[in-house]
Structure 1
Amino acid sequence: MRTSSTIRTRGTVKRTTRAAAALAAGALALSLTACGGDEDSGGGDGGDEGGGAKQPASSVTLPKLDGESLEVAAVWTGTEQENFKKVLAEFEKRTGAKVTFVPAQDPIINFLGSKIAGGAPPDVAMLPQPGAIKQAVDKGWAKPLGAEATKELGENYSQGWQDIGKVGGKQYGVYYKAANKSLIWYNAQVFENAGAAEPKTWDELLNAAQMVYDSGVTPFSVGGADGWTLTDWFENVYLSQAGPEKYDQLAKHEIKWTDPSVKDALTTLAEIWGKKDFVAGGASGALQTEFPASVTQTFTGGDQPKAGMVYEGDFVQVNIGETKAKVGTDAKVFPFPAVGDTAPVVSGGDAAVVFKDSKAAQALATWLASPDAAGIQAKLGGFLSPNKSIDSSVYPNEVQKKIAEALVAAGDDFRFDMSDQAPQAFGGTPGKGEWKTLQDFLKNPKDVAGAQAKLEADAAAAYGG
């Protein structure tokens, strides 16, 4: 199965050089270092007032859709879902259409299959993997974007972000939401008490972790109940250690998971996952900790939380917002440290894909490709857009603003989440494939060879040999 594993520019494959990766990582490091220390958490409701500057007057043209009804399916819950509904409400206001949000379950491809089999597909679905977009196209479910949506996309997105939404040269996806998945968030008071500094290399990260441990706090919180967090850990280590070419090859299964580069990455991960008392609750506790709890337990309890650090993307701010901690003062962030020559820049995202080729569905896709739509959710916090036409002043705090600016400035010099590029059966299904094997590896990080063998067996089956 061929997946959208590389970023293309002007029709040619763009191989990110180590220098380009270093530049992007350096820009991120610089921007985060420059962030102020008195910002809001970005987890509030925002509303129409405050929370950043207002967007400029609308430039997107939408048709009148009075009397039309649409359904949008996504796996989003909680604050994320509520904020997205405000974006849909503005679409309703501008067009006269009625939009219903349909909560979906992971894996969303299976959910959509059931809806389609029952004759009730949603008009638009938010797909979290390029591999899922390709599956939807291969099954004949997804519809190409129309001229207006494609035009809006071309005006507001870099070529790389356009291309990961393409299948067979046709545009199917609008990457409405992005994620910078190369960040480690930390409890500032814990670091201060421990005398630890923000690390730039893997060895410095291990040293900082030991200092946090010696101060009486467990270094890391890991949301192991959600297997996707573990794939993100692996991808950052692998990209930095093995390099972008190997990363692309493994993403396409052009090299096997039994390759020595995978052994090296798993062995490196075991330096944290296998270190006694370095993970809150140990392996068994981590495997019972869902992602939101992995964040909140890092920022509750003052200077004696359950852990001093938590790895994950910019969207961590949504969950920090559920605590009393403030981003930029109590909760700070640094780029994922370099394991090899350069620090990694791994991104992910959710794409709007049309499942009913109607005027209303295409209008919604056009809306979601606009800076007007993304600006609404950006203002509410816990959200990052690859839309380069957004005025970054709408982001509700300096940390989020700088992360967003670094993502846009990186252009095409990033790598998309590897597991999201894989067939869903391998890279995106709870209890199966990569998610399950890395959960087992967290439980037994000494079994590197066994994890490699299982990963390869599952990958070979999912990719078709």
Structure 2
Amino acid sequence: MRTTLRTNRDRRARRAALAVIAAGALALTGCSGDGKGDGGDKEGADATKSPASSVTLPKLNGEKVQVVAVWTGPEQENFSKVLKEFEKRTGATVSYVPTQDAMLNYLGTKISGGQPPDVALLQQPGALKQAVQRKWLTPVDAPTQAQLDKNYTKGWKDIAAVDGKQYGVYYKAANKSLIWYNTAAFENAGATEPKTWKEFLTAAETISASGVPPVSIGGADGWTLTDWFENIYLSQAGPEKYDQLAKHKIKWTDPSVKDALTTLGQLFGKKEFIAGGQEGALGTEFPASVTQTFTGGDQPKGAMVFEGDFVAVNIAQTEAKLGTDAKVFPFPAVGSEAPVVTGGDVAVALKDSKGAKALMTFLASEDAAKIAAGSGGFVSPNKSMDLAAYPNDVMRDIAKALVDSGDSFRFDMSDQAPQSFGGTPGKGEWKALQDFLKNPKDIAGTQQQLETDAAKAYKS
């Protein structure tokens, strides 16, 4: 997912968004694009729309709809509320299947077995493009396109389109340039929120001296490590280089990658900076990296944890109160500007069924976004949704900054790559950066491994 270089106006908008974060809010930026979907079935006389509804859905009594995504735990519970409302309005029966397999691999197995799900939620635009190339997906129909045109900016539509044809709905967005911290641990150490990478390392030294490891890293989930790299690379190398590397127009052996890994090594190379050391981090999954940061009062296992706005879901599983016990600041600037990297989950239809079409339409609606937003830990790029639906001011400000940013942003680099390189456990970027966390002195070896895997993935 990519945009062109920001104009001066775009940069001013991003700085304004970051100022909002610094004031206690959080900034999110968006993508760009525009696609026109194929015309679909027209809604018939059996379609219904409740007085409080913003979308008309057909009656689907007796129809079964299967949805697959990676969400478990609180995120699955949140999504289930949306699906239950869809069932209530249409009469369909929806079954949700969570999978931790690489999504394209999972879908390929189901398709070859003649049992594809109706709808799937993909995490990578690169995976969406590959699925289109394999002729797995059905373009959105007219009712879904109407909801997209009403509720989404051009950028969020384009990111889910291929060759001008709309295939997806960005149901969920994420700001992946945030560092959350335990306020008690910070106050006990006398640390303050850093604005630059140098200040971040200084804060880490201060916290470490207080007896608390400064950073909790969910290294068992390789995607968290790609996010560390991408934020440093965007800020240090700049958006032009970021776009080039995302499309593999420059090699991973480029000096700019060496610089970013060297910077990342300033954190990864210090055992005392990491909760459990490098070995402990590699054995820690993302949810645990969050919960261990916000338990234990002023003596947690780690004082800070880096990741997107969805961290709020995991904080909610602790006794920490968002905004007091748990606060957040923007990823510190390595170069001249702090980075803003976004991600998201895109819904796609694998069947040309009434149930699949109707669910896609619902997921593109204001109604579905409001249900999910009310549960917390969720941000929607849907610009029509009333911000009052969010449960607190922190999430409200995140969403406002996202909507107000329009089509200016940089999307997660690994999500743009072929799935075998950017989105598969134990392979490609995930594995190379896990190896780097284990041995952060081997910068040249890491670069070569990344380039070897990237060249193979992009060629195929």
TM norm. shorter chain > 0.5? yes
Aligned counterpart, 2:120 = 125
Whether 2:178 is the aligned partner of 1:183: answer: yes
The amino acid of 1:28's aligned partner reads: L
The amino acid of 2:279's aligned partner reads: S
Alignment of 1:189-204 (within 5 A): 189-204=184-199
3-state DSSP of counterpart to 1:406: helix
Q: Aligned partners of 2:251, 2:369: CA distance in 1, in Å?
A: 38
The amino acid of 2:338's aligned partner reads: A
Q: CA deviation at 1:304?
A: 0.2
Q: Aligned partners of 1:389, 1:56: CA distance in 2, in Å?
A: 17
Whether 2:366 is the aligned partner of 1:371: answer: yes
Q: Aligned partners of 1:344, 1:156: CA distance in 2, in Å?
A: 27
Q: Aligned partners of 1:412, 1:146: CA distance in 2, in Å?
A: 24
Alignment of 1:19-98 (within 5 A): 20-21=10-11, 23-35=13-25, 57-98=52-93
Aligned counterpart, 2:283 = 288
Q: Aligned partners of 1:143, 1:97: CA distance in 2, in Å?
A: 20
Alignment of 1:197-276 (within 5 A): 197-276=192-271
> Do the aligned residues in 1 keep the contact of 2:21 with 2:330 (CA within 8 Å)?
no
Q: Mark the CA change 1:90 to 1:196 in structure 2 (over 3 Å): closer, same or farther.
A: same
> Do the aligned residues in 1 keep the contact of 2:62 with 2:91 (CA within 8 Å)?
yes
**Structure 1 stretches of 5 or more lacking a match?**
8-13, 37-54
Q: Deviations over 1:69-94 (max 9, x none)?
A: 11001111011111101101101111
3-state DSSP of counterpart to 2:344: strand
Whether 2:399 is the aligned partner of 1:404: answer: yes
Q: Aligned partners of 1:216, 1:62: CA distance in 2, in Å?
A: 57
> Do the aligned residues in 2 keep the contact of 1:193 with 1:215 (CA within 8 Å)?
yes
Whether 2:366 is the aligned partner of 1:349: answer: no
- Output the TM-score relative to the length of structure 1: 0.92
- The two structures, once aligned, show a CA RMSD in angstroms of 1.6
Q: Deviations over 1:190-228 (max 9, x none)?
A: 111112111111111111111111111111000000000
Q: Aligned partners of 1:377, 1:83: CA distance in 2, in Å?
A: 6
Q: Aligned partners of 1:417, 1:334: CA distance in 2, in Å?
A: 19
3-state DSSP of counterpart to 2:52: coil
Q: Aligned partners of 1:73, 1:86: CA distance in 2, in Å?
A: 15
Alignment of 1:415-434 (within 5 A): 415-434=410-429
3-state DSSP of counterpart to 2:273: coil
Aligned counterpart, 2:300 = 305
Identity %: 69
The amino acid of 1:16's aligned partner reads: R
Aligned counterpart, 1:152 = 147
Moved more, 386-395 or 286-295: 386-395
> Do the aligned residues in 2 keep the contact of 1:184 with 1:312 (CA within 8 Å)?
yes
| Equivalent residue in structure 2 for 1:6, among 2, 10, 31 | 2
Q: Aligned partners of 2:69, 2:15: CA distance in 1, in Å?
A: 31
The amino acid of 2:132's aligned partner reads: V
Aligned counterpart, 1:447 = 442
> Do the aligned residues in 1 keep the contact of 2:196 with 2:333 (CA within 8 Å)?
yes
Aligned counterpart, 2:315 = 320
Q: CA deviation at 1:24?
A: 1.6
> Do the aligned residues in 2 keep the contact of 1:29 with 1:335 (CA within 8 Å)?
no
Q: Deviations over 1:424-456 (max 9, x none)?
A: 000000000000000000011111111000000
| Equivalent residue in structure 2 for 1:381, among 376, 383, 407 | 376
The amino acid of 1:29's aligned partner reads: A
3-state DSSP of counterpart to 1:277: helix
Q: Deviations over 1:346-401 (max 9, x none)?
A: 00000000000122211110100011001101100111111111111111111111
> Do the aligned residues in 2 keep the contact of 1:25 with 1:344 (CA within 8 Å)?
no
The amino acid of 1:6's aligned partner reads: R
Q: CA deviation at 1:422?
A: 0.3
Q: Aligned partners of 1:281, 1:102: CA distance in 2, in Å?
A: 33
Aligned counterpart, 1:115 = 110
Q: CA deviation at 1:105?
A: 2.6
The amino acid of 1:90's aligned partner reads: E
> Do the aligned residues in 2 keep the contact of 1:21 with 1:414 (CA within 8 Å)?
no
> Do the aligned residues in 2 keep the contact of 1:28 with 1:403 (CA within 8 Å)?
no
Aligned counterpart, 1:166 = 161
The amino acid of 1:103's aligned partner reads: P
Q: Deviations over 1:106-136 (max 9, x none)?
A: 2011011111111110000001100111111
Aligned counterpart, 1:41 = none
Q: CA deviation at 1:56?
A: 9.6
> Do the aligned residues in 1 keep the contact of 2:25 with 2:398 (CA within 8 Å)?
no
Q: CA deviation at 1:60?
A: 1.0
The amino acid of 1:99's aligned partner reads: V
Aligned counterpart, 1:339 = 334
> Do the aligned residues in 1 keep the contact of 2:180 with 2:327 (CA within 8 Å)?
yes
The amino acid of 1:148's aligned partner reads: P
The amino acid of 1:84's aligned partner reads: F
**Structure 2 stretches of 5 or more lacking a match?**
27-49
3-state DSSP of counterpart to 1:350: strand
> Do the aligned residues in 1 keep the contact of 2:175 with 2:340 (CA within 8 Å)?
yes
Moved more, 353-362 or 435-444: 353-362
Q: Aligned partners of 2:329, 2:211: CA distance in 1, in Å?
A: 22
